[in-house]
Amino acid sequence: MKEREKLLQLRKENNEQLPFWYHPLLHILINSLFFLLFLTFGFMALEKTSLKFSFLISIFILFWGVIEYLVHRFVLHSQKLKNFHFYIGHTHYHHQYFTNKYMNYETPIDLNRILLMPLDLLATLLINLFLSTPLFLIDREVGCAFFIAGVLHTLLYEIIHGMSHFGFDNYFTRNHLAHHDPKKMHGHFSVVIPLLDHLFKTEYSKQEKIHVHQ
């Protein structure tokens, strides 16, 4: 019971720090608008599509999955970056707001620690645009595929991560639940492509221990 009371107190303190304009529906609306605008921009910049484009989208989504894994492991959980905005938001707040024992969404305001906040999402999409620009200048189709894949991967991340906190019982949820276990939070880093944890040996099993990155 003490653990539950401590959790509710932390959530209360977190929610009191939200900006005055915050409302869960507005949060969803703004994020949806950002995704729509960036996807529209990507497809409008694309002059033509081909089988090559479809293949590139698949390859680049995998690439962005690797980027997600690396950022999650070496940035969001690195003690060396404990004063970094995204580290504080993820490891300090998100992991305390949702523990493996209290993993699920309970009230609408909980969305502020499930979905990326609008400015964080905008920053993520703008970084994607910045990284895509050189490729776009070299080959428009490749650049557009890289950019669109990045936006789609971020959208998949939001959907799968959200699903993991809404009580859906599936492989993705169980994978993310393990990550929220304080004893296992230094494993199961990939939300969209959990296979990457197996490939990089950061998937927990009874036989192995996960190296804790400091």
The residue extents of the domains of the chain are: 2-8+24-199
Nearest-angstrom CA–CA distance, 53 and 134: 17
Of the chain, the percentage scoring pLDDT greater than 70 comes to 95
Q: How confident is the model at residue 114 (pLDDT cuts 50, 70, 90)?
A: very high
Q: Provide the pLDDT for residue 89.
A: 85
Mean pLDDT of 19-47: 95
Q: Provide the pLDDT for residue 2.
A: 82
> pLDDT tens across 168-181, in order?
888 888 889 889 98
Residue 75 has pLDDT above 80, yes or no: yes
Q: Provide the pLDDT for residue 52.
A: 86
Mean pLDDT of 174-203: 89
- State the DSSP string of 177-188: HHHTSTTTTTS-
Mean pLDDT of 47-53: 80
Maximum separation of any 2 CA atoms in the chain, in Å: 59
Which residues, 6 or more positions from 122, have their beta carbon under 8 angstroms from its beta carbon? 34
Nearest-angstrom CA–CA distance, 34 and 138: 26
Which residues, 6 or more positions from 149, have their beta carbon under 8 angstroms from its beta carbon? 56, 57, 59, 60, 61, 63, 64
- Tokens encoding 49: 């599509």
CB atoms within 10 A of CB 190: 26
Q: Provide the pLDDT for residue 81.
A: 84
Mean pLDDT of 93-103: 86
Nearest-angstrom CA–CA distance, 52 and 178: 37
Residue 26 has pLDDT above 70, yes or no: yes
Q: Which amino acid is at 174?
A: R
> pLDDT tens across 117-128, in order?
999 999 999 999
Mean pLDDT lowest for which of 12-26, 70-84, 124-138, 197-211? 197-211
Residue 207 has pLDDT above 50, yes or no: no
- Per the document, the length of the chain is 214
Exposed/middle/buried for residue 85 (C-beta within 10 Å: 0-12, 13-18, 19+): exposed
Q: String of b and e for 126-152 (b: at least 16 CB within 10 Å)?
A: eebeeebeebbeeeebbbbbbbbbbbb
- pTM, 2 dp: 0.89
Mean pLDDT of 182-210: 79
Q: Provide the pLDDT for residue 100.
A: 83
